[in-house]
């Protein structure tokens, strides 16, 4: 059962891998730290494992910190607003972590470039590749941000609607399926059953 739940949840990582995160007003969170509750040593994002994501212009963070001074492990759950204020989460930490892992499962996650290094050439994409010069209608609804730009929830191209699927891995080591579309070289969308009239 745990294996099946894991398939539908985002994978935790070092919080430093999720940073920097930029709000729509231009404010940027580059570092994050919290004092160890046992010895008061400052624990940085490199010593925190979990998930941080920009959702509806707020950074949601759920992690476990590990103090390098005393070895204490402690939970961290908070929401950071676009004025860089950190707010406590009032729901139980385990429930908040579960919700956040599910909420960001389809959003781009940090990737290690080494994971995408391949020694053999990849086949050309089978799907569509479109960019700024093409006639693309972008949804005003945003699912978050990737590399500083908003991720439209859906797009319409050539009388068809496409729903956001995932971010393209770095280095171009991926293949598009026939029903997929690559937008601006970074975001992959999948054709929906809906046809635009």
Higher-pLDDT residue of 196 and 164 is: 164
pLDDT at 161: 92
Q: Read off the pLDDT of each residue in 168-185 and give the average, rounded to a whole number.
A: 80
Residue 2 confidence (pLDDT) above 60: no
pLDDT at 47: 93
Biggest CA pair distance of the chain? 63
Nearest to 49 by CA among 63, 67, 32, 60: 63
pLDDT confidence tier of residue 67, bands split at 50, 70 and 90: very high
Q: Read off the pLDDT of each residue in 29-57 and give the average, rounded to a whole number.
A: 89
% of residues, the chain, pLDDT over 90? 21
Residue 84 confidence (pLDDT) above 80: yes
Question: Range with the lowest mean pLDDT among 5-14, 96-105, 132-141?
Answer: 5-14
In the block, which residue shows the tokens 């730009």?
A: 149
Q: What is the pTM of this model?
A: 0.51
Q: Which two tokens stand for residue 42?
A: 């400052």
Residue 131 confidence (pLDDT) above 70: yes
Beta carbons of 165 and 155 less than 8 angstroms apart: no
Q: What is the pLDDT of residues 40-49, one digit of tens each?
A: 899 999 999 9
Q: How far apart are CA 30 and CA 21, in angstroms?
A: 7
pLDDT at 23: 85
Q: How far apart are CA 20 and CA 90, in angstroms?
A: 25
DSSP string, the chain: -HHHHHHTSPPPEEGGGG--EE-TTS-EE---EEE-TTT--EEEGGGEEEEEEEETTEEEEEEEEE-TTT--EEEEEEEE-TT--EEE--S-HHHHHHHHHHHTTTS-----GGGG--SSPPPPPSSEEE-TTS-EEE-S-EEEEETTEEEESEEEETTEEEEEEEEPPGGG-----TTEEEETTTEEEEEEEEE--
Q: Which two tokens stand for residue 26?
A: 């231009």
Q: Read off the pLDDT of each residue in 12-41 and give the average, rounded to a whole number.
A: 87
């Amino acid at each position: 059962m745990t294996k099946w739940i894991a398939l539908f949840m985002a994978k935790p990582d070092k919080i430093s891998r999720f940073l920097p995160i930029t709000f729509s007003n231009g404010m940027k969170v580059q570092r994050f730290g919290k004092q160890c509750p046992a010895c008061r040593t400052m624990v940085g994002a490199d010593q925190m494992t979990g998930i941080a994501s920009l959702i509806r212009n707020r950074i949601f963070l759920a992690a476990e910190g590990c103090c390098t001074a005393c070895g204490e492990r402690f939970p961290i759950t908070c929401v950071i607003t676009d004025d860089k204020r950190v707010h406590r989460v009032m729901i139980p930490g385990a429930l908040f972590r579960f919700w956040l892992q599910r909420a960001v499962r389809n959003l781009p996650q940090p990737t290690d470039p080494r994971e995408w290094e391949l020694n053999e050439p990849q086949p050309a994409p089978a799907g569509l590749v479109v960019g700024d010069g093409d006639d693309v209608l972008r949804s005003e609804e945003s699912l978050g941000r990737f590399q500083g730009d908003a991720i439209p929830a859906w797009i319409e191209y050539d009388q068809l609607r496409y729903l956001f699927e995932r971010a393209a891995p770095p280095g171009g080591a991926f293949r598009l399926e026939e029903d997929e579309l690559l937008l601006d070289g970074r975001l992959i969308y999948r054709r929906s059953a809906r046809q635009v009239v």
